[in-house]
């Protein structure tokens, strides 16, 4: 009879965990999913294990940030203007146009022709 009550208690605890698990953060889920059901629903010392997991994640973020380099050597173009990083507005020069020929070298525009006709009359 005692085994039956133990099985009922264990099954209830497992179902309670299944209801609670979707509402936990990802860190708590990873730590608590391997914990056995005991007197406490998520096992003993869950708080300490979660704190250790958070500290480990913080340290890994520091390591990840120190090893990754920004791509400062790759130009980033946005609508024919070079987007420069870490430049102040006082030192910024706009890039020269990529087109070398000007409008005057291709001949007069239609509006300038009309303007000349208007001036002659």
Q: How far apart are CA 34 and CA 37, in angstroms?
A: 9
- What are 93-109's pLDDT values in tens digits? 666 665 555 555 566 66
Q: Categorize the per-residue pLDDT at 119 as very low, low, confident or very high, splitting at 50, 70 and 90.
A: low
Per-residue b or e along 83-99, where b marks 16 or more CB atoms closer than 10 Å to that residue's CB:
eeeeeeeeeeeeeeeee
Q: Please determine, for residue 75, whether its predicted confidence score (pLDDT) is greater than 80.
A: no
- Quick one: pLDDT at residue 93? 66
Q: Please determine, for residue 19, whether its predicted confidence score (pLDDT) is greater than 90.
A: yes
pTM for this entry: 0.44
Q: Quote the tokens at residue 62.
A: 């520091």
Q: How far apart are CA 33 and CA 20, in angstroms?
A: 11
């Amino acid at each position: 009879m005692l085994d039956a009550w133990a099985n009922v208690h264990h099954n209830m605890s497992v179902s309670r965990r299944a209801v609670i698990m979707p509402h936990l953060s990802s860190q708590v889920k990873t730590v608590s999913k391997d914990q056995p059901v005991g007197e406490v629903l998520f096992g003993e010392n869950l708080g300490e294990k979660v704190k250790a997991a958070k500290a480990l994640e913080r340290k890994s973020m520091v390591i990840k940030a120190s090893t990754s380099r920004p791509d400062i050597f790759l130009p980033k173009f946005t609508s024919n203007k070079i987007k420069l990083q870490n430049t102040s507005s006082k030192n910024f020069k706009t890039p020269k146009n990529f087109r070398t020929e000007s409008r005057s070298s291709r001949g007069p525009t239609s509006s300038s022709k009309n303007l000349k006709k208007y001036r002659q009359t």
